[in-house]
Every structure is written in structure tokens, then in C-alpha cells.
Amino acid sequence: MLTGRAQEARVATRLRERNPIVREYFAVQAPRIARACQAMAERFLQGGRLYAFGRGPYATDAAHVSVEFIHPVIVGKRALPAADVSAAPAAWIETLAGADDMAIAFGPPEGDDELLAVLGRASRAGALTLALPGGEATFAFPAPTTDPHIHQELFEILGHTLYESVHVFFEHRQLGHDVGASGFLYPYLGSGKQETGPILDDVAASIVAKASDGELLRDQVAERQAEAIADAAAAISERLARGGRVLAFGNGGSATDATDFVIDCIEPSAGMRTVPALSLASEPAVLSAIGNDVGIELVFMRQIIAQSRPADVAFALSTSGGSKNVIAALAEARKRGLLTVALLGYDGGDIARNGLADHTIVVDCDYIPRIQETQAAIYHVLREELGNAGGP
């Protein structure tokens, strides 16, 4: 594993290597994504539901899409019915999917024939289908690259643009319903009911602009945070060499990203050995029990108490840098001698301002989807930097 300036340079290079792939992909695919959003909006207006599924790390993408539709981060937007059915996709689609519904499958660059067969079952039930990637679906999007990390990051961007733009079409069709908090993103929309066809080009252009915003953020992180990422990788590697494990956690979309990072650790890409890791955000029974009995602010802290060993690493993801349950867990981890690493958004929030983590990596942005997309690139590059550390 490289150290010092060489490692820092490699981190910056790997972050920037994403940019031409993302740029070229959305330049080509944005019109089709816009049409998919329009079709999904029509389904939601008819009372349809969205079912998302994947396997392994791609199950976390399904969970991420589900939480974004149920709990949109754009202020004032309504919850739309979605569910992550990754645990048993064939059975759930067979039982639940109907003519007004939608199904979206996430898979690796080479595709997943089993999940595409489930999409076929949904299609036969009349559902609109999206394959990420795939060859046969109402909207099938090709794999952008054979690199599994960049592939997954790009489809996270695509998933975000789906929920952002579905809201635009949805509200555009509502008589007298103003676009509200989306107005600054979509200034071409009015408040009256209009046909959605004429705005397809504008939505496609906004999707390209979103991808461009992500490119600027990755460049910014490569310039300003490469040293912090390299330092965090070196510190985590030292703990792993001592027999430590990574304990990752976060809320909402950050919970799915924490679990994705953990899966990347225990089921790494070819050429990398495993890193022992647990996601403290992946067990709903534990989270709901602690949240109900002693409070949501303690859901990660109680798990740190139960699970941690002194050589472990507490790896926190927070877009705001101010989540009380993340702060409580970091404080408890420090008391117990764990290394604390925080991947943050905005200006780093209370975690960065008050020095609550040994290593902080900040995506300086105030819009949650773009923060999360950039954070995914960061933790994937960080995982690469761990290399063979922690393997048997």
C-alpha cells in the first residue's frame, strides 16, 4: 500500500477517473431517463407503486431508491409508495405487482439473469420495468463500465434523478399546484396544468446538469480532500492489522451507503482480500427495538457498546454532520478507544466543527443527492486504498 504524497495522488486520480464516464453516459442517456421519469409519474398518478430489488451490494441501491421515494429530501414533496423487496423479489413481485405498478432491478455490470427474469414476471403483470443494467425492460439502461464501483455510483446518480424528476412531472400535471421548493431547480415550470411532453427536453437537460454538478464535486474533493482520504485509509489499515473491524453506520440513504461499504469490505472486488466489517444500520429489528425502547438517538451508540472492541473503527456517514445518533455513537466509540472516521456533507456540521472524529472527510455541498453520490465515490476509493489490509 502506498503512503504519503503518492497515495494522495492516486486517490485524486481515481476520483477524477469517474468524470468522463459519468459525463458521456448522461449525455447519451438523459433523454431516455426523462421519458422513464414521465412514465413513472403517470403510474404514480394512477395509484401505482414502485418495487425495487437487487442482490449483494446492489440490494443497497434498491433500498436507497425506496427510501428516497418514501422520504424525499426535497422539502415539501409528497411521499410516493415504494418498497425494497430484495429479500424475496420473485415472490413479492408475483404477489404484489399489478398493471399500474413499477419494478426496478439493480445488478452488476454483466447483468443478473435471475433478477431480469423477475422483471419479466413484473412486465407480464402489466408493470413498467426498469433494468439497471439490462437488455429487456420498458426502460433498459446499459452498464456504463466494467468497474463495479463506478458502475454502482453512476446508477446511484440515475436513481436520484429518477425521484427528483418524477416529482417534477407529477406536480406539473396537478392543476394549480405550484412546483414549490423545486422551483430553483426547474425554473421553466409554471403552476398550471400542462401537457408533460414539451418539458421532456428541459428535464433531460436538468439531468445532464445534475451529473455535471457531481463532476465538479468530485474534482473539488480530489483537490481538497485527497490527503484526508489517504490519511483515513492509512489509519484504518493500522487498526485492521491489529485485528480490528469496521463498524459503519448512518441514517436513511447514508444507512444504505454504510451497508454498501460493509459489503464491499466483506465481498470485495477481484484482487482485494476481505476486510472484517459490520453495518450497524442494516438490522431493522435492532434499530426499531432500541429506537422504541430507549430512543432513536441511541440506536448506534447501543450497538457500539455491544459490538465494539478497542482495535475497531467507527465509520460514520452523515450528509449533515449533525445527526444526534451519529454524534452519540462517535462519542461512545472514542470513549472505548476506537478509531473514528466520519464522511460528511455541508460544511461538516457539528462533527467537523467540534472535532468529534479522528478523521473527517467533507463534501462541501448543501444538496443531499449530490453529497451522497460523491460520498459513494469516496468510500469506494477508500476501500480500494485498504487493498489487502485485514485479509487472512
What's the pLDDT score for residue 177? 41
3 state SS of 359:
strand
Model pTM score: 0.92
What's the pLDDT score for residue 74? 72
133 preceded by a cis bond (ω within 30 of 0): yes
The residues, ordered by sequence, that sit 6+ positions from 258 with a Cβ below 8 Å of its Cβ are 248, 249, 250, 279, 280, 281, 282, 315, 317
DSSP 72-137: -SSTTPPP--EEE-TTSHHHHHHHH--TT-EEEEE--TT--HHHHHHHHHHHHTT-EEEEES-SSS
Q: Are 214 and 367 contacting, i.e. CB atoms less than 8 angstroms apart?
A: no
Compute how many other C-beta atoms are within 10 angstroms of the C-beta atom of residue 178: 14
Each of the 392 residues of the chain gets a pLDDT tens digit; together they read 455 889 999 999 999 999 999 999 999 999 999 999 999 999 999 999 999 999 999 999 999 999 999 998 776 788 999 999 999 999 999 999 999 999 999 999 999 999 999 999 999 999 999 999 998 999 999 999 999 999 999 999 999 999 999 989 877 765 334 444 444 444 434 444 456 567 899 999 999 999 999 999 999 999 999 999 999 999 999 999 999 999 999 999 999 999 999 999 999 987 888 999 999 999 999 999 999 999 999 999 999 999 999 999 999 999 999 999 999 999 999 999 999 999 999 999 999 999 999 999 999 999 999 999 999 999 999 999 998 554 44
Q: Are 328 and 356 contacting, i.e. CB atoms less than 8 angstroms apart?
A: no
Q: How far apart are CA 266 and CA 245, in angstroms?
A: 11
Q: How far apart are CA 27 and CA 23, in angstroms?
A: 6
Q: Are 362 and 220 contacting, i.e. CB atoms less than 8 angstroms apart?
A: no
All CATH 3.40.50.10490 domain ranges of the chain, comma separated, are 4-218, 225-386
> What are the backbone dihedrals phi and psi of residue 361, each rounded to the nearest 5 degrees, phi first?
-125, 120
Q: Which residues pair with 339 in a beta bridge?
A: 313
Q: How far apart are CA 344 and CA 361, in angstroms?
A: 6
What's the pLDDT score for residue 292? 98
Q: How far apart are CA 69 and CA 81, in angstroms?
A: 7
Kindly report the CATH number that applies to the domain delimited by 225-386. 3.40.50.10490
Per-residue DSSP letter, 281: T
Q: Are strands 313-318 and 277-279 parallel, antiparallel or unpaired?
A: unpaired
Across 221-327, the runs of DSSP E, i.e. the strands, are 246-249, 277-279, 313-318
- State the cell numbers at 391: 485479509
What's the pLDDT score for residue 73? 78
Which CATH architecture fits 4-218?
A: 3-Layer(aba) Sandwich (3.40)
Compute how many other C-beta atoms are within 10 angstroms of the C-beta atom of residue 68: 25
